[in-house]
Amino acid sequence: MKVMLLGMPGAGKGTQAQFLMDRYRIPQISTGDMLRAAIKAGTPLGNEARRYMDRGELVPDHVVIELVKQRVREADCANGYIIDGFPRTIPQARALQEADLDFDFVIEFRIDDDEVLRRLTGRRVHPPSGRTYHVVYNPPKVRGKDDVTGEDLVQRADDAEPTILRRITTYHAQTRPLVDYYVERSKRGPPRYVSIEATGPVERVRDAMFAALGGQ
């Protein structure tokens, strides 16, 4: 199973990716997580990426395209993958096609701008596992601690309100055109395009997603 997740910042891509990973036993490839790992490791790529991410802007296409191409060649991707947060521009989508990386499904999660702000200001993450919580909507069992390991949860640097607003603007300008791109492509064959109303409880969104995947 090869799946691509599309949607605004905070639409729930990372949250729903966990359910897909559990069901299909395939890895999640999150370009955001990969870039944050590079920042933490202090690599030249990470230092370049940080300048853009802290401003709520997209990292240059050539940087992320190369990251994804290398990652999908790794052994754990042999049976499929979930790509979360890529492509984010039309040139990135074209690069995927040119690299012959195919997908069974493109899943779009739809929410509005106000909900993005509510979700991201309350988000807390456990960076080693990628598990994501929300102080109101999806709280951990113990405040500030990961449910599985008991380790500290953190707030992402780009979840400050001014940066969130910038990310929303960036999404509408550069990523939203991918919806039309993939809807049009799906009329000519795979990948199938699935659009999910992503407001409401996490489990309701999960059930709608699996129903749309047709029990696969």
Residue positions annotated with a catalytic role:
13, 88, 123, 156, 167
State yes or no: residue 35 binds ligand AP5 (CB under 6 A).
yes
The answer to whether 107 and 2 are in contact (CB under 8 A) is no
CB of 22 to ligand AP5, least distance (A): 15
Q: Is 160 helix (H, G, I), strand (E, B) or coil?
A: coil
HSE-up of residue 56 (Cα within 13 Å, Cβ side): 19
179-198 mask for ligand AP5 (x: CB under 6 A)? -------------------x
CB of 187 to ligand AP5, least distance (A): 24
> In Å, how far are 12, 139, 189 from 9, measured between CA atoms?
8, 19, 28
Tokens read off for 184: 């049009």
State yes or no: residue 28 binds ligand AP5 (CB under 6 A).
no
- In the bound state, the residue with its beta carbon closest to ligand AP5 is 32
Nearest residue to 16 (alpha-carbon basis) of 35, 3, 31: 3
State yes or no: residue 27 binds ligand AP5 (CB under 6 A).
no
CB of 91 to ligand AP5, least distance (A): 10
Residue 59: CB atoms within 10 Å: 20
CB closer to ligand AP5, 86 vs 182: 86
Per DSSP, the residues of 49-111 read HHHHHTTTPPPPHHHHHHHHHHHHTSGGGTT-EEEES---SHHHHHHHHHTT---SEEEEEE-
Which residue in the set 3, 4, 6, 11 belongs to the binding site for ligand AP5 (CB under 6 A)?
Answer: 11
Which residue in the set 2, 6, 7, 196 belongs to the binding site for ligand AP5 (CB under 6 A)?
Answer: 7
The answer to whether 56 and 167 are in contact (CB under 8 A) is yes
Report 112-171 residues binding ligand AP5 (CB under 6 A).
Answer: 119-120, 122-123, 132-134, 137-138, 158, 167
CB of 85 to ligand AP5, least distance (A): 3
Q: What is the end-to-end Cα distance of the chain in Å, rounded?
A: 9
> What residues make contact with ligand AP5 under the rule CB under 6 A?
7, 9-15, 30-32, 35, 52-53, 56-59, 64, 85-86, 88, 92, 119-120, 122-123, 132-134, 137-138, 158, 167, 198, 200-202, 205
